[in-house]
C-alpha cells in the first residue's frame, strides 16, 4: 500500500453514484403500475374495497383507531408500498396454464428418473426430495401467484357479510367499554371518479378505457365498482361505576382481599371497562396465590354488573365462590433441590411418574382404564406391571425421587452394580440431594432460592426462584414443582391451624376456613456443559474497504465451585479508515489491524464487606470483574488500550436493571507514531481546534459510573414498549492524591477529571400485527470539573474517548460515524472544500429518530426513517466559530437526514441496510440539501450496514 501522503481518492465513496437514475426509473415503473386500473382484476359482479372509515359522536381518537383494528375487511395497503399496484404488475406476467404445464412436466420427468433409480434408495430419496421441492414451489405460484404478486396483495373484493360481522364486533367492543346503549351501522358508498394518473394516461392514449358491464342494485340503480365503507357509531352515554360490593363466603380469602383493597383497579366514578375488570381478576388471582392459595383459579372470581338502579350507572358485585370444603391455604413443608437429573426424568419426577421409558410406552399403547381411587392399584399395573407408580397415596416422606432411586437400585443389582446413594445437606433450611460432593456450593444456590419451609405458597417467589436459577447459566433447565403432602405431626398441624385467617364477611359470620395444607417444593436441575465455545466471523464496510473480523469466546462454568462464569475471548480483524493528507483535500483509505482479548469473571453474589450484599439479595445480584486490552496497528501508529472494571449488577424486575461500577481504570498508550501522522494531528489541533491529538497521548482514566436500564420490549422489538437508559460517570476525582507524586510524573501519564451524563429514551408502538412506529430521543453532556492551566485556548480538557459524537449507523444515518457537527461550524480543507472526514467531538449531544417499520416479503422487512441531531461545545472556541451551544440558536443547527432501510430478519440475526440522504445541513451555506438527493453529489447519501435495529 502506498504511503498516505501519496494516495488519492477522487471518487465519492459515500455518494449515491447512479442511485438517482435507478430511483427515477423505479418511480416511473411504479406510476405506470398505479395508472393501470385494478378493475381489470375483478370478476363479474365484484367490487373493489378502497376505503374504510369510522364516524362517531364522541369517541376519542384512540378508541376509533382501536375500532379500526376490529374491521373484518380492510382495503389494500398503499403506504409505504402500493401493494395492489405491485400485484397488478406481477399479474401481467402470470400464466396459470403455463405453470400447470410445468407441473405436469416435473411429474413426468421425475417419474422416468425414479423408474430408472429403482433399487438405489439413496438416489431415490434425493430425487423425491428434489421433486417435492419443485412441485411445492410451482403449486405455491399457481395458488398465490408469482413472486412479484406475492410481494403485493390481491384486490380486496368487497363482501357485505363481513361488514355486518364488523358491526357485531364493534357493538361488542363498545359494550365492553361501558356503552351499553351503543348502536352501530354501516353504509357502502361507491365512487367512479378515476385517479389523476389514470386520467392522464387515458388522455395521451396510453391506457384503454374500462367498460365493464354495469352492476345494478335491487332497485335498478347502477353500482360503481370502487367501494367506501363507513361505519356509523352512535355510542350514547357511557356508564360509570356507582357502587362496588363484595361477596366472599370464605373468611380467609375475604381478609386477604380486604387488606389489599387499596391496590384495586376499580373505583367508584370510573368508566365501566371490561379490560380493567379482566385485569382486576388477574390481580386477585395473583394476590391469593401469593397468600398461600395454591389451588385458586380466576374461574372462582365473578364480577356482576347491574344497570337497573340508576340511569347511566353500574353497580358492580365481586363474588368469589368456594369449592366444596372451602379454599385451602398451603404452607411449605420441605424445599428439596436435586441437581443431577436429566430433563425428561425431572419432568417425570415433577408429576410423580417413575416408570422407565420402555414400560411407559407400553402403558401408553395399552387401552386400559387408568382411573383409580386413593389406595387402589390400577388394573393394568397389577396385571402387566407397566402401570405408573404414583406416590400420591403413599406415606408422608415418600417422594418420587426415592421411589425412582429404589427402582434404579434394583436394576443395577441385576447387573451386579450398586447405586450410589444421594448425600443430603441442609443449607439455610433447604435440603440439597446429590450423589457425591456437590458441584456448586449449596450456600450459593440457597441465595437464589426464594422459597423456604414454613412459608405460605407464593407464586411471585416461585417465579423469582426459577428466574434467578436460570440467570446463573449453570443449568440446561430448572423446574420448581409442588407436591401435596401431610403434616409431619399433629402439633405442627395444630400450630398451623391457629395461624389461619379468621374474619367475618359483610353479610355476617363466615364459614371457618379450610384446614391447612402442606406442600413439598421440589427443585430439579440439569447441569450445563462445563466448557463451551463460540466462534463468530463477519465483516465491516468502512471507507470503501471490506474488513473481515473473527471472534473466539470460551466459557468456563463453575471454575471455583461457586457458580461463577469465566469468559475468555479474543478478537482479530481489519477495518478501513479514512485519513486526510496534511492540510490538503486529498483523502485516502487505509487498513488498521485490531487485536483484542478480554477476561471476565461473573460471580452470582455481591462481593462487598459488612454484608452489604444482603441488601440486594432479593434482586438477583452479580459481581463482574473484567480485564480487557485492545491493540491497534496501522501504517502510521500503534496504540494499546487496557481497561479494568469492577461492576455490581442487579435486577429489580424483569424489565429494570442497574449497574454500579465503583472501579473503572483505563490506560491508553501510543507505542509509536509516524512523523507524517504527528504532523497531521498538529495541523488538526492548531488549525481546526480538534482534540483528536489527545487520543494518542498516554492517558490514565480512573472513573466510576452508574447505569439504569429499563426495557419492556423483547429481543425482536414486537411490543408496545418503553426503553430508558440513564448513565452517570465521574472520572479523575482521585487525581489530587498522586498527580504531583514523583513516581506518577515519571510515567508521563495525563489524568483529567470530568462528569458525564447521558439519557436515551425510546418508544415503540405496534400499529398492526406486522407494522410498528418507533421513535427515539438521545442526549448527553460531558464537562471537565477543573481547568488544565497549560491549555490557554480551552482549559477544560477531556479524555478524547469521553467526548460525545453524532452520525453513524445508530445515530443520524445521513452522516458517517462521528462526523456530524459541531453546531454550525464546518471543518474545511485548505482549498475551502467541506471536510466530511474529520471526527467532530462535542460536549453536548441532542439527537432523535422516527422510524416506520413494515413487512415487505417473507423475512424481508422495510423501514422509512428521519433522523435529526448535532453536537456542540460548552465554551466558545475561536478556532471553531458556531460550535458553541446557545439557547437562542441551537434549534436552527439540527442536521436532518431521511431515508429507507431493508432488514433481513433471520430470527437469530437481523441484517440491516439503511440508505440515508442529507435533507438539512446546518454547516453548509445552502443548508437545504434535499434537492441533491437524486444527483451524484459527493457526500450526499450514505449507505449504512449493521446488525440489529438502530434503536
Domain boundary residue, one of 781, 803, 825: 803
Does 515 fall in a domain? yes
Domains of the chain: total:
4
pLDDT in tens, 213-236: 444 443 444 557 788 999 999 988
Expressed as residue numbers, the domain containing 37 is 20-234
- pTM comes to 0.77
Distances in Å between the Cα of 611 and the Cα atoms of 77, 325, 601, 605 are 61, 46, 21, 11
My answer on whether 649 and 729 are in the same domain is yes
pLDDT of residue 397 exceeding 90: no
Query: How far is Cα 865 from Cα 854, in angstroms, rounded to an integer?
Result: 12
Specify the DSSP element, H or E, that contains 139.
Answer: helix 121-144
My answer on whether 225 and 248 are in the same domain is no
Does 105 fall in a domain? yes
Instruction: Specify burial of residue 948 (Cβ count, 10 A radius: 0-12, 13-18, 19+).
Output: middle
My answer on whether 444 and 487 are in the same domain is yes
My answer on whether 269 and 223 are in the same domain is no
My answer on whether 639 and 783 are in the same domain is yes
Cβ(195)–Cβ(172) below 8 Å: no
Say which DSSP state 271 is in: B
Say which DSSP state 82 is in: -
My answer on whether 272 and 185 are in the same domain is no
My answer on whether 726 and 771 are in the same domain is yes
Helices in 542-628 by DSSP H: which ranges? none
Question: Cis link prior to 867 (omega < 30° from 0)?
Answer: no
pLDDT of residue 508 exceeding 50: no
Helices in 215-352 by DSSP H: which ranges? 251-259, 274-290, 343-351
At residue 615, the 3 state secondary structure works out as helix
Domain boundary residue, one of 291, 320, 349: 320
My answer on whether 184 and 305 are in the same domain is no
**What CATH number should be reported for the domain holding residue 305?**
3.10.20.310
Does 899 fall in a domain? no
Length, in residues, of the chain: 951
At residue 825, the 3 state secondary structure works out as coil
Query: How far is Cα 420 from Cα 399, in angstroms, rounded to an integer?
Result: 18
My answer on whether 644 and 793 are in the same domain is yes
My answer on whether 79 and 211 are in the same domain is yes
CA atoms lying within 13 Å on the CB side of residue 793: 11
pLDDT in tens, 676-727: 888 888 888 887 778 888 888 899 999 999 999 999 987 767 778 999 999 9
Does 848 fall in a domain? no
Domain boundary residue, one of 492, 527, 562: 527
pLDDT, the chain, mean: 81
Paired with 491 in beta bridges are none
Least reliable range by pLDDT among 28-32, 317-321, 718-722, 783-787: 28-32
Does 900 fall in a domain? no
Instruction: Specify burial of residue 66 (Cβ count, 10 A radius: 0-12, 13-18, 19+).
Output: middle
Least reliable range by pLDDT among 44-58, 198-212, 430-444, 834-848: 198-212
Buried b (16+ CB within 10 A) or exposed e, 36-52: bbbeebbeeeebbbbeb
pLDDT band with cut points at 50, 70 and 90 for residue 24: low
My answer on whether 693 and 739 are in the same domain is yes
Does 549 fall in a domain? no
pLDDT in tens, 609-664: 888 888 888 888 999 999 999 999 888 889 999 999 999 999 998 899 999 999 99
Task: Tell me what the mean pLDDT of segment 440-456 comes to.
Answer: 93
Does 582 fall in a domain? no
- The x, y and z cell numbers of residue 706, run together, are 452508574
* Top-confidence residue, 433 or 435: 433
My answer on whether 316 and 336 are in the same domain is no
Cβ(818)–Cβ(827) below 8 Å: no
Most confident of 503-507, 532-536, 761-765, 839-843: 761-765
Does 567 fall in a domain? no
Amino acid at each position: 500500500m502506498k504511503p498516505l501522503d501519496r494516495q488519492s481518492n477522487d471518487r465519492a465513496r459515500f455518494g449515491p453514484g447512479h442511485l438517482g437514475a435507478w430511483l427515477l426509473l423505479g418511480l416511473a415503473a411504479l406510476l405506470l403500475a398505479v395508472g393501470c386500473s385494478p378493475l381489470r382484476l375483478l370478476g363479474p359482479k365484484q367490487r373493489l374495497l378502497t376505503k374504510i372509515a369510522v364516524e362517531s359522536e364522541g369517541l376519542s381518537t384512540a378508541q376509533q383507531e382501536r375500532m379500526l383494528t376490529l374491521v373484518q375487511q380492510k382495503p389494500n395497503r398503499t403506504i409505504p408500498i402500493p401493494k395492489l399496484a405491485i400485484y397488478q404488475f406481477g399479474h401481467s406476467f402470470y400464466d396459470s396454464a403455463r405453470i400447470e404445464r410445468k407441473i405436469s412436466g416435473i411429474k413426468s420427468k421425475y417419474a422416468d428418473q425414479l423408474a430408472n433409480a429403482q433399487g438405489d434408495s439413496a438416489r431415490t430419496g434425493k430425487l423425491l426430495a428434489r421433486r417435492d421441492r419443485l412441485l411445492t414451489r410451482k403449486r405455491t405460484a399457481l395458488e398465490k401467484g408469482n413472486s412479484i404478486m406475492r410481494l403485493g396483495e390481491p384486490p380486496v373484493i368487497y363482501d357485505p357479510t363481513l361488514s355486518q360481522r364488523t358491526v357485531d364486533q364493534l357493538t361488542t367492543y363498545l359494550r365492553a367499554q361501558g356503552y351499553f346503549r351503543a348502536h352501530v351501522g354501516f353504509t357502502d358508498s361507491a365512487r367512479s371518479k378515476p385517479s389523476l394518473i389514470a386520467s392522464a394516461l387515458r388522455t395521451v392514449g396510453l391506457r384503454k378505457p374500462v367498460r365493464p358491464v354495469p352492476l345494478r342494485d335491487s332497485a335498478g340503480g347502477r353500482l360503481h365498482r370502487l367501494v367506501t365503507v363507513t361505519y356509523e357509531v352512535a355510542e350514547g352515554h357511557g356508564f360509570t361505576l356507582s357502587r362496588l360490593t363484595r361477596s366472599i363466603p370464605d373468611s380467609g380469602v375475604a381478609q386477604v382481599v380486604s387488606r389489599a383493597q387499596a391496590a384495586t383497579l376499580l373505583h367508584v366514578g370510573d368508566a365501566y371497562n371490561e379490560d380493567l375488570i379482566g385485569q382486576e381478576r388477574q390481580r386477585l388471582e395473583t394476590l391469593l396465590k401469593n397468600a398461600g392459595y395454591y389451588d385458586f383459579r380466576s374461574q372462582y372470581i365473578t364480577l356482576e354488573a347491574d344497570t337497573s338502579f340508576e340511569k347511566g350507572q353500574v353497580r358492580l358485585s365481586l363474588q368469589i365462590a368456594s369449592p366444596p370444603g372451602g379454599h385451602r391455604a398451603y404452607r411449605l413443608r420441605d424445599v428439596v433441590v436435586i441437581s443431577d437429573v436429566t430433563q425428561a426424568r425431572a419432568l417425570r419426577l415433577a408429576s410423580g411418574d417413575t416408570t422407565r421409558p420402555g414400560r411407559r410406552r407400553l402403558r401408553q399403547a395399552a387401552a386400559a382404564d387408568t382411573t383409580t381411587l386413593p389406595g387402589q392399584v390400577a388394573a393394568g399395573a397389577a396385571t402387566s406391571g407397566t402401570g405408573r407408580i404414583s406416590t400420591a397415596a403413599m406415606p408422608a416422606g415418600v417422594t418420587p425421587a426415592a421411589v425412582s432411586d429404589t427402582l434404579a437400585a434394583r436394576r443395577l443389582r441385576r447387573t451386579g452394580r450398586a447405586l450410589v446413594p444421594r448425600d443430603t445437606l441442609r443449607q439455610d433450611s433447604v435440603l440439597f440431594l446429590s450423589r457425591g460432593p456437590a458441584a456448586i456450593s449449596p450456600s450459593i444456590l440457597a441465595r437464589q432460592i426464594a422459597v423456604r419451609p414454613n412459608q405460605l405458597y407464593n407464586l411471585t417467589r416461585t417465579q423469582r426462584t426459577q428466574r434467578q436459577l436460570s440467570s446463573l447459566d449453570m443449568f440446561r433447565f430448572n423446574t420448581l414443582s409442588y407436591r401435596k403432602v401431610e403434616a409431619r405431626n399433629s402439633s405442627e398441624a395444630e400450630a398451623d391451624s391457629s395461624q389461619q385467617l379468621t374474619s367475618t364477611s359483610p353479610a355476617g359470620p363466615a364459614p371457618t376456613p379450610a384446614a391447612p395444607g402442606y406442600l413439598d417444593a421440589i427443585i430439579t436441575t440439569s447441569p450445563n456443559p462445563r466448557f463451551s465455545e463460540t466462534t463468530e466471523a463477519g465483516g465491516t464496510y468502512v471507507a470503501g474497504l471490506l474488513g473481515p473480523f473473527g471472534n473466539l469466546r470460551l466459557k468456563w462454568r463453575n471454575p471455583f465451585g461457586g457458580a461463577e462464569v469465566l469468559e475468555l475471548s479474543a478478537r482479530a480483524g481489519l477495518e478501513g479508515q479514512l485519513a486526510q493528507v496534511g492540510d490538503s483535500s486529498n483523502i485516502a483509505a487505509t487498513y488498521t489491524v485490531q487485536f483484542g482479548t478480554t477476561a471476565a469473571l461473573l460471580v452470582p453474589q455481591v462481593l462487598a464487606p459488612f454484608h452489604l450484599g444482603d441488601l440486594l439479595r432479593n434482586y438477583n445480584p452479580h459481581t463482574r470483574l473484567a480485564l480487557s486490552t485492545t491493540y491497534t496497528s496501522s501504517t502510521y501508529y500503534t496504540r494499546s488500550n487496557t481497561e479494568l472494571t469492577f461492576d455490581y449488577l442487579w435486577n429489580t424486575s424483569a424489565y429494570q436493571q442497574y449497574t454500579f461500577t465503583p472501579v473503572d481504570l483505563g490506560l491508553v498508550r501510543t507505542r509509536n507514531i509516524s512523523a507524517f501522522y504527528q504532523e497531521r494531528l498538529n495541523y488538526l489541533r492548531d488549525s481546526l481546534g480538534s482534540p483528536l491529538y489527545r487520543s494518542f497521548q498516554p492517558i490514565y482514566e480512573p472513573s466510576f459510573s452508574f447505569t439504569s436500564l429499563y426495557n419492556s420490549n423483547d429481543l425482536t422489538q414486537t411490543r408496545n414498549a418503553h426503553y430508558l437508559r440513564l448513565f452517570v460517570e465521574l472520572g479523575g476525582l482521585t487525581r489530587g492524591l498522586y498527580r504531583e507524586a514523583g513516581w506518577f510524573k515519571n510515567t508521563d501519564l495525563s489524568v483529567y477529571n470530568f462528569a458525564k451524563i447521558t439519557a436515551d429514551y425510546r418508544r415503540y408502538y405496534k400499529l398492526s400485527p406486522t407494522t410498528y412506529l418507533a421513535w427515539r430521543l438521545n442526549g448527553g453532556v460531558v464537562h471537565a470539573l477543573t481547568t488544565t492551566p497549560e491549555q490557554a485556548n480551552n482549559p477544560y480538557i477531556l479524555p478524547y474517548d469521553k467526548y460525545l459524537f453524532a452520525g453513524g449507523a445508530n445515530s443520524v444515518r445521513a452522516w458517517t460515524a462521528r462526523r456530524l457537527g459541531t453546531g454550525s461550524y464546518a471543518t474545511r480543507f485548505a482549498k475551502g472544500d467541506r471536510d466530511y472526514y474529520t471526527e467532530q467531538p462535542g460536549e453536548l449531544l441532542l439527537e432523535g429518530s422516527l422510524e416506520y417499520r413494515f413487512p415487505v416479503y417473507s423475512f424481508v422487512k422495510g423501514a422509512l426513517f428521519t433522523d435529526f441531531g448535532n453536537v456542540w461545545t460548552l465554551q466558545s472556541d475561536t478556532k471553531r466559530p458556531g460550535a458553541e451551544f446557545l439557547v437562542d440558536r441551537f434549534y436552527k443547527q439540527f442536521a436532518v437526514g431521511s431515508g429507507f432501510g431493508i432488514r433481513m430478519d433471520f430470527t437469530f440475526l437481523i441484517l440491516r441496510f439503511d440508505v440515508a440522504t442529507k435533507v438539512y445541513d446546518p454547516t453548509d451555506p445552502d443548508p437545504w440539501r434535499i434537492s441533491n438527493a437524486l444527483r451524484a453529489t459527493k457526500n450526499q447519501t450514505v449507505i449504512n450496514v449493521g446488525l440489529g435495529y438502530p434503536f
